[in-house]
Amino acid sequence: MSQKVLLTSKEVNIILHRLACQLIENHLDFSNTVLIGIQPRGAYLAKRIQHLLANDYKINNIQLGFLDITFFRDDFRRGEKTLEANKTQIDFLVEDKKVVFIDDVLFTGRSINAALTAVQSFGRPSEVELLVLIDRRFSRHLPIQPDYRGRQVDAIQDEKVKVCWSEKDGEDAVYLI
């Protein structure tokens, strides 16, 4: 199985800083904004973004949560593969807040659709935005587009985009497999 490097560690770092700056432009002090990482892989990106905002840009008190969408997916109980649930950790209400969903790869849009349904258990947001590291733009099944994107990738259906995080995989990199 061959793999092509889409992003190196240095490129991932540059993109994370750009995404953090774009969030600051639109949300300033984040007083009415919450960040929600889509479990499992969006949680790594969400933690990194929050860390950059707090440490490099001195924006404190950013509310960060993690949302498990397993039981809200439209393919739940449809396949042979057993889905494993992750933990939802949202200890705040999203009522009338600006919510920024954070995920590593936007592919078909079905995960984001599930997240939109799942987040309603925590209130009705005033606005929802989407931040992704990788946007696979030609693969959508639903009309969902990111507000913030790290890199756009044109990959054919049987190609896979693999995002590696140093915390989990020992390196920061993105590969096309």
Instruction: Quote the pLDDT of residue 158.
Output: 86
Instruction: Quote the pLDDT of residue 8.
Output: 98
Instruction: Quote the pLDDT of residue 55.
Output: 97
According to DSSP, the residues that pair with 65 across neighbouring strands are 36
Phi, psi of 127 (to 5 degrees): -160, 145
Instruction: Quote the pLDDT of residue 151.
Output: 97
Q: Which one has a higher pLDDT value, 84 or 128?
A: 128
Instruction: Quote the pLDDT of residue 30.
Output: 97
User: How many residues are given for the chain?
Assistant: 177
Query: Please, where are the H alpha helices in 2-158?
Result: 9-27, 42-55, 110-118
Q: Are 163 and 171 in contact (CB under 8 A)?
A: no
pLDDT, tens digit (0-9, with 9 covering 90-100), for 149-174: 999 999 887 899 999 999 999 999 99
pLDDT, tens digit (0-9, with 9 covering 90-100), for 51-99: 999 999 999 999 999 999 998 977 655 556 666 788 999 999 999 999 9
Phi, psi of 94 (to 5 degrees): -100, 5
Instruction: Quote the pLDDT of residue 124.
Output: 97
d(CA 173, CA 133): 11
Strands 173-176 and 161-164: what pairing? Answer: antiparallel
d(CA 7, CA 156): 18
Instruction: Quote the pLDDT of residue 82.
Output: 63
d(CA 151, CA 164): 15
Predicted structure pTM score: 0.93
d(CA 101, CA 115): 8
pLDDT, tens digit (0-9, with 9 covering 90-100), for 12-33: 999 999 999 999 999 999 999 9
